[in-house]
Every structure is written in C-alpha cells, then in structure tokens.
Amino acid sequence: MDTLKLQKGNLENFLQKLGEEFAVFAPVMSDGIVSFLELRPGQKSVLDFPRTHKPPKDIFYPQTEVMLRYGRDGLQSTEYKGKPIVLFGVRPCDAKSFILLERVFIEPKYKDPYWVARRNKTLIFSLACNDPLPSCFCNWLDGGPFNKTGSDIFITDIDDDYLFEPISEDGERFLSGVDILKEATEKDIKKAKNAKERAESSMEKPPKLDSLKSSLDTLWDETLWDEISLRCLGCAVCTYSCPTCYCFDIQDESRRGKGVRIRLWDSCMFPLFTKEGSGHNPRPLQKHRLRQRFMHKFNYFVEKQGEFGCVGCGRCVSLCPVNIDIRSFITSVIQTAQGRGDT
C-alpha cells in the first residue's frame, strides 16, 4: 500500500472517527504539560510537542493499577475490557520502548495478563521527530528520529499535511478503510525525505557502543560509581520518566473482610526497594542503586534480551534535578575501561 496523507485541518475529524471504534490516546496539553490522555469528545490533541515528560507506557502499564478485588464472596478480576486502544502521535523512541517492555511483559514464561489485555488489538501511530532535542540520543541505540520500530502506522509532519505510512499488516488494513485520506504525491514524499535528512543530520554523531557491555563487566568496583552518585538525590525521577523501566511493587489493602491488590511503579533508586525483612539491605548506598540502574540497562538487559534497555529518549537527561547525564556516564565507562586496557 502507498503512503497516504491527511490535511492538518482534518486531524480532529479523523481522531473523532477513530474514537468511534477505539479508545484513542493522544498528546494533550493540560496545565502547561503535554501528556498522553484518552481523548474526550471535542478535545484537541497537540502534535507539535517535542517530547512528553511522562512516557506513554502507563497506558498499558498504569502507574497504579488494581489487579483484583477480594472479599468473603471470592475474587473479582479487574483486567481491561474496554475498546481496543489507539496510541496516536507516539515518538519513535517510545514506540521502540514497547518492544523492549514486551520482552518482559509478554515473554513466554511470564505473560502479564494486564499488559496483554490492553495491548491486544492496539494500533500505534508513531510520529517522526522533525526537530530532535539536544538531550535526545536515540541514534546511539539503533534508533533515530524517523525510526519505525514498534510502529503500525508512521506519521510525518510535512507542513500542511501529515503523511501516513503503513508499517505493519494491521496498520495497512486499518488505513485501507479510511476514506478521508488521499494518496501522497511524489512532492510530499520528497518533503518527508528532506525532513528525515535534516533531523538525522541535526543529531551528534554517536560513539561506538560495541564495548559498553564488556566494559561494565570489568567496572563493578570502580570509583566511577562514587563520583557519579555523589550528587544523586535518589529522587527516582529518572526511573519514573523512563519508557523502559518497569519495576513494580504489589500491595494488598484490606478492611472489614474485603480489599484490593494493587500494583504500583517502584524504583531501584529508593533504599526500600531492596531492603529485606531482616533489616539487611544489599544495596545500602546510593552508589549501589545507581550502579544497579546503569548495569540493568547496559549490561544485564543485553545479557538477557540481546540489546540495550534504553531507547535514548533523553528524559532522564533533561529531568534529573542535578544534571546526571547518562550519555556522559556511557562515555566515561568506555574511557575508563580503555584507560585500564580492558577493551
């Protein structure tokens, strides 16, 4: 199927029509911040945003989620039973993050029914980044501002129109039934190609990361962890804003014979995350917790899943209150290992 186009003036109309069949989540401005929210009738989406503060992972994996209700009369499941979901206007790094998260939530041994119930029949419309931010480094990690991994339909903003390129079979099937879209012309495709070249060339050339995992293998006890962690506040902004972090806690809240089991995001940056019932904490210092975060993304995830557990969205870079920049950490790990002759 060829690439199609939608006049920008028809966007709201298009989204309203989508809403008849799907629960549509799109970037919406609320209190001066753009977040992915379910579109209510008449609500406008914002597609000229650089990056949402909060990644859209909470649509499939809410920050707080009731897993089941219980009482004297038994258990009641709370799995999602709503309309199929459309995620509209997701940036390429976030679309790719779903592929990484699914290695955890849909891997054969442990299928997470809550994730699966929402993710089933979902369509992901990702939106190319024409103007990557200075903190973005998706191009270091096999991604890029026009990367299509994880996308069903890929949107490019070309001035007066949006181009819609089908990527998956589901995306193609969906687009073939939408009559509001027109065929893109050669001129439109050329504009998209130019936008891609401009965006890609605006990003810094990435360093080689081939030796990053093996460098980390040798740096468990390095003073590097002391240096980086000295200014870390342990606030966990980096993990809560990360599209690929997935740690959670489960708690029961019950009263007078009935209750709920709740799953909520947790963070390896908190001391309580690993504190045992005996009082012992295997990661007593912030440097141990920071090391865990970096090791998980760039060492353990590679070992288990074959790729880095980071998509280079740059949220942790721009939101860390003390400017701990994961890119500097990556380069100093490689340099430290090279300086010691380990690589």
**Strands ordered across the beta sheet of 161-166:** 33-38, 23-30, 85-90, 123-127, 153-158, 161-166, 4-7, 182-183
Q: How far is the CB of 245 from ligand SF4 (least distance, A)?
A: 6
Answer for which of 127, 129, 167, 324 binds ligand SF4 (CB under 6 A) is: 324
CA angle centred on 312, ends 308 and 313, rounded to 5°: 135
Q: How many residues bind ligand SF4 (CB under 6 A)?
A: 25
Residue 167 or 320: the one with the smaller Cβ distance to ligand SF4 is: 320
Query: Binding ligand SF4 by CB under 6 A: which of 269, 295, 333, 334?
Result: 269
Task: Write phi, then psi, for 275 (nearest 5 degrees).
Answer: -70, 130
Closest Cα partner for 57 from 102, 18, 24? 102
Binding to ligand SF4 by CB under 6 A, coded x per residue (else -) over 224-263, reads --------xxxxxxx--xxxx-------------------
- Residue 9: its H or E element: none
Q: Which CB atom, from 22 or from 240, has the smaller least distance to ligand SF4?
A: 240
Q: How far is the CB of 209 from ligand SF4 (least distance, A)?
A: 13
Compare residues 39 and 310 and give the one whose CB is closer to ligand SF4.
310
Beta-sheet pairing, 85-90 with 123-127 = parallel
Q: Which stretch binds ligand SF4 (CB under 6 A): 73-81, 110-118, 205-213, 321-329?
A: 321-329
> For the CA atoms of 279, 285, 291, 294, what is the dihedral angle to 10 degrees?
80
Please answer whether residues 101 and 149 qualify as being in contact, where contact means their C-beta atoms are separated by less than 8 angstroms: no
320: contact with ligand SF4 by CB under 6 A: yes
The angle, 0 to 180 degrees and rounded to 10, between the axes of the packed helices 286-295 and 326-339 is: 90
The site map against ligand SF4 for 273-312 (x = CB under 6 A) is: ------------------------x------------xxx
Query: 152-178: buried (b, 16+ CB within 10 Å) or exposed (e) per residue?
Result: bbbbbbbeebbbbbbbbeebeebbeee
Range in contact with ligand SF4 (rule: CB under 6 A) among 169-177, 210-218, 247-255, 314-322: 314-322
Check: CB of residue 175 under 8 Å from CB of residue 166.
yes
Query: Which of 287, 315, 330, 333 forms a contact with ligand SF4 (CB under 6 A)?
Result: 315
Give the binding site for ligand SF4 (CB under 6 A). Answer: 232-238, 241-244, 269, 297, 310-316, 320-322, 324, 326
